[in-house]
Amino acid sequence: MSTDTTDADNDLRERITNFLRRNFPQIQMHGGSAAISHLDRENGEVTIQLGGACSGCGISPMTIQAIKSRMVKEIPEIETVHADTGMDSGADGDLGGTSSGGMSPSFPGETTDDGGDDEGPQAPF
């Protein structure tokens, strides 16, 4: 690999890293991490690995979609973004209901019927 190619790859890696820091500070603020696991400058492809608290986070599929759509718009050399949380969530981290494992996200106020009679804590009045 020539020095020019190496310099161009390093510049592109730095711009991708800065893009992630600038556009997705919540990844690090919430205990997650994002790193370039593969860069193919020639084909315009990058693979981003989300880790830490991103693994198993119910919002990570939305974060992945946002990374994919914004990065190709902001960094012209990148045509395809692959991103994954490292869990068995399907191709490119897209949950899409095709996964056989993992947990579904829950939301405040959401209830599940597990067949038990437990109605939760009683009000003190």
Tell me whether residue 121 is in a domain: no
Neighbouring-strand partners of residue 79: none
Q: How many CB atoms lie within 10 A of CB 46?
A: 26
- Block means of pLDDT (10 residues each) for the chain, length 125 residues? 77 95 90 94 95 89 94 96 73 36 43 52 52
Tell me whether residue 11 is in a domain: yes
> In the prediction, which pLDDT does 8 show?
86
Tell me whether residue 122 is in a domain: no
Q: How many CB atoms lie within 10 A of CB 63?
A: 21
**Could you tell me the CATH number of the domain that includes residue 16?**
3.30.300.130
Tell me whether residue 30 is in a domain: yes
Determine the structural domain holding residue 28 and report its residue range.
3-84
In the chain, the number of structural domains is: 1
> In the prediction, which pLDDT does 107 show?
42
> In the prediction, which pLDDT does 67 show?
95
Neighbouring-strand partners of residue 51: 33
Tell me whether residue 125 is in a domain: no
d(CA 89, CA 98): 8
Tell me whether residue 112 is in a domain: no
d(CA 39, CA 11): 12
Cα-Cα-Cα-Cα torsion 23, 45, 84, 104, nearest 10 degrees, comes to 80
> In the prediction, which pLDDT does 56 show?
84
